[in-house]
Amino acid sequence: MDLGDYYRLLGLRSGASFADIKASYRRLAQQYHPDINPDDNKAKDKFIALTEAYKLLLQVVAPQEIAPQPTQTVTVTYPQPSVIETPTTTLRTQPTPQPPQPPQMSEVEQQLKWQTYEQLQIFLKEKRFPQAIALAEALAARLPQDPEVRQWQAIAYQIWGRVLIKQNQLPKAKIYLKKALKTDPHNKALWNEVQRDFQKLEQIF
């Protein structure tokens, strides 16, 4: 599932507001809640899927109630992550030039970025790779000028491509490895990792 699928699952168009997401989830959750449908496994599965979509969308849509003023800037500094880890993969990102954040990034955007990074780590460690990619893509769409976000997105692609190689889904793996290089073409460490993955692909074909 991509990000658009999560919106559609909640009966919304891509880019719907925080208020719309919240209202739609509440309405559908009441309809499919297991307490209301105790013997309906389909309703239970639907409720679980709705809840997962709702939680993921909340990671990428800042509540309108706390939206900052257009001129608001932030002076808080956040720790710079240099590693994204999974149980089987550790990839180092390239150092990011100072300042670490693009200019004029609001405090809400700062918080959104690092909350999303933490959730991305959770998805990767739990091997929920499609959800991790959807989350990274959504954050990249929200913060398109942020070099670290592009790195996270590229690494998510690369990790998923490596998993697909192990699953023998080779054409699909090749697509995501190419996406990784296209997303962050100047990351030499990532480039070297992806080239080794392509060598594995050539040996299997």
Sign of the dihedral through C-alpha 150, 119, 67, 8 = positive
Instruction: Please say if the pLDDT value at position 97 is more than 50.
Output: no
pLDDT in tens, 10-22: 888 877 788 888 8
Instruction: Please say if the pLDDT value at position 87 is more than 50.
Output: no
CATH no. for 3-66: 1.10.287.110
Say how far residue 195 (Cα) sits from the centre of its chain: 23
Domains of the chain by residue range: 3-66, 86-204
What span, in angstroms and rounded, lies between the C-alpha atoms of 119 and 131?
A: 10
Question: How would CATH label the architecture of 86-204?
Answer: Alpha Horseshoe (1.25)
What span, in angstroms and rounded, lies between the C-alpha atoms of 82 and 38?
A: 46
Grouping H, G, I as helix, E, B as strand and the rest as coil, residue 92 is: strand
- Give the pLDDT score at 84: 52
Read off the pLDDT band of 154 (50, 70, 90): very high
Q: Is the peptide bond before 99 cis (omega within 30 degrees of 0)?
A: yes
pLDDT in tens, 165-181: 889 898 998 999 999 99
| In the block, residue with structure tokens 């959104």 | 112
**pTM, 2 dp:** 0.57
74 Rama sector, left if φ>0, alpha if ψ -120 to 50, beta otherwise: beta
Instruction: Please say if the pLDDT value at position 117 is more than 60.
Output: yes
137 near 153, Cβ under 8 Å? yes
